């Protein structure tokens, strides 16, 4: 007979308090570095906060990087948003948003919350990419867009019992790269939102919702038609009312 193990109660909550203290401190440190114009150091702090990715044998590094990709995407994107904002209040709000990500959204589990993590990471990363590197070479924008879409899709599908998780992730990454390659020849902006970001977010969120409902056996034909109609309507409005001249809106 196997021995019965007694439940071990934690001696104190110091470790948990210290952990949450670090999570709160990270956005504040980034905020202060941005205010002091040490932007490169803020990027380094975000990357160093993920040091545990490399605290294993090198053969596990790639898997750890992929598993932590959405967290890095969100952190680096928020640093870019804070750097591009001259308002103290806006920068502080971004720091608060990053704290909410670290404390509430990032540790969450379950298919819905993990899907939300993937959606937020893709949106913020694409917004940051096109807001900060709009004049970059097309091949660079294409490659990074495909990589962002792939990593977000991989994170999304990892929470489901999807047999072809690699295949569908690569397909979404390829679709994002192909769309970026076409649209970057006429890169348009609606305020701070680039057209590739808007279209990929609309299509991606629509497909993710359909997949989520279908996976949970809650997708009816009526609901499917409604979501498809909404996606097509948004895409048609965006494409129809865009100025396709050689300029940025």
pLDDT tens digit sequence for 12-38: 565 666 667 778 899 999 999 999 999
Pick the more confident residue, 234 or 101.
101
What pLDDT, on a 0 to 100 scale, did the predictor assign at position 15? 63
Which residues, other chains included, contact 186 with Cβ-Cβ below 8 Å and sequence gap of 6+? 244, 245, 246
Confidence of residue 214 (pLDDT cuts 50, 70, 90): confident
Residue 1 belongs to some domain of the structure? no
- Residue 133 and residue 77 share a domain: no
Tell me the residue range of the domain where 42 lies: 19-107
- Residue 189 and residue 160 share a domain: yes
What pLDDT, on a 0 to 100 scale, did the predictor assign at position 189? 86
Residue 52 belongs to some domain of the structure? yes
Residue 8 belongs to some domain of the structure? no
Residue 80 belongs to some domain of the structure? yes
- Select from 65, 92, 107 the last residue of a domain: 107
Rounded Cα–Cα distance for residues 165 and 154 (Å) = 7
Pick the more confident residue, 84 or 51.
84
pLDDT averaged over every residue in the chain: 86
Residue 10 belongs to some domain of the structure? no
- Select from 85, 107, 129 the last residue of a domain: 107
Angle at 15 between CA 12 and CA 17, to 5 degrees: 90
- Residue 58: CA atoms inside 13 Å, Cβ hemisphere, count? 0
pLDDT tens track for 37-83: 999 999 999 999 888 888 788 888 888 888 899 999 999 999 999 99
What pLDDT, on a 0 to 100 scale, did the predictor assign at position 227? 83
Residue 6 belongs to some domain of the structure? no
Residue 239 pLDDT > 90, yes or no? no
For residues 123-146, give the mean pLDDT. Answer: 94
What pLDDT, on a 0 to 100 scale, did the predictor assign at position 197? 94
- Residue 231 and residue 121 share a domain: yes
Pick the more confident residue, 129 or 188.
129
- Residue 206 and residue 94 share a domain: no
- Select from 63, 85, 107 the last residue of a domain: 107
What pLDDT, on a 0 to 100 scale, did the predictor assign at position 10? 42
Q: Which whole-number Å values give the CA distances from 12 to 16, 23, 249, in the listed order?
A: 9, 19, 57
pLDDT tens track for 91-113: 999 999 999 999 999 999 889 99
What pLDDT, on a 0 to 100 scale, did the predictor assign at position 249? 43
- Residue 184 and residue 246 share a domain: yes
Domain count, the chain: 2
Pick the more confident residue, 87 or 146.
146
- Residue 242 and residue 140 share a domain: yes
| CB 116, CB 155: distance < 8 Å | no
- Residue 137 and residue 93 share a domain: no
Angle at 190 between CA 140 and CA 224, to 5 degrees: 90
- Residue 215 and residue 160 share a domain: yes
- Residue 213 and residue 154 share a domain: yes
- Residue 246 and residue 129 share a domain: yes
- Residue 233 and residue 121 share a domain: yes
- Residue 148 and residue 36 share a domain: no
Say what percent of the chain tops pLDDT 90: 55
Residue 165 belongs to some domain of the structure? yes
What pLDDT, on a 0 to 100 scale, did the predictor assign at position 8? 40
Confidence of residue 4 (pLDDT cuts 50, 70, 90): very low
Confidence of residue 199 (pLDDT cuts 50, 70, 90): very high
Residue 223 belongs to some domain of the structure? yes
């Amino acid at each position: 007979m196997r021995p019965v193990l007694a439940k071990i109660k934690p001696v104190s909550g110091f470790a948990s308090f210290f952990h949450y203290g670090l999570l709160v401190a990270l956005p504040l440190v980034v905020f202060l570095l941005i205010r002091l114009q040490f932007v490169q150091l803020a990027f380094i702090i975000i990357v160093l906060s993920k040091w545990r990715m490399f605290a294993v044998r090198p053969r596990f590094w790639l898997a750890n990087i992929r598993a932590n990709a959405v967290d890095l995407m969100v952190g680096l994107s928020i640093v870019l948003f804070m750097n591009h904002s001259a308002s103290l209040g806006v920068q502080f709000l971004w720091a608060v948003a990053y704290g909410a990500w670290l404390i509430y959204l990032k540790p969450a589990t379950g298919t819905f919350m993990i899907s939300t993590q993937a959606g937020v990471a893709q949106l913020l990363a694409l917004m940051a990419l096109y807001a900060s590197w709009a004049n970059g070479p097309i091949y660079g924008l294409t490659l990074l867009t495909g990589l962002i879409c792939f990593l977000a899709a991989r994170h999304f599908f990892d929470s489901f019992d999807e047999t072809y998780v690699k295949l569908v992730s690569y397909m979404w990454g390829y679709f994002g790269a192909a769309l970026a390659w076409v649209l970057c020849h006429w890169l348009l902006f609606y305020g701070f939102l680039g057209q590739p970001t808007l279209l990929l977010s609309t299509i991606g969120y629509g497909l993710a919702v359909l997949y989520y409902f279908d996976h949970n056996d809650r997708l009816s034909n009526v609901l499917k038609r409604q979501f498809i109609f909404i996606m097509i309507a948004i895409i048609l409005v965006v494409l129809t009312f865009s100025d396709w001249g050689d300029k940025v809106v």
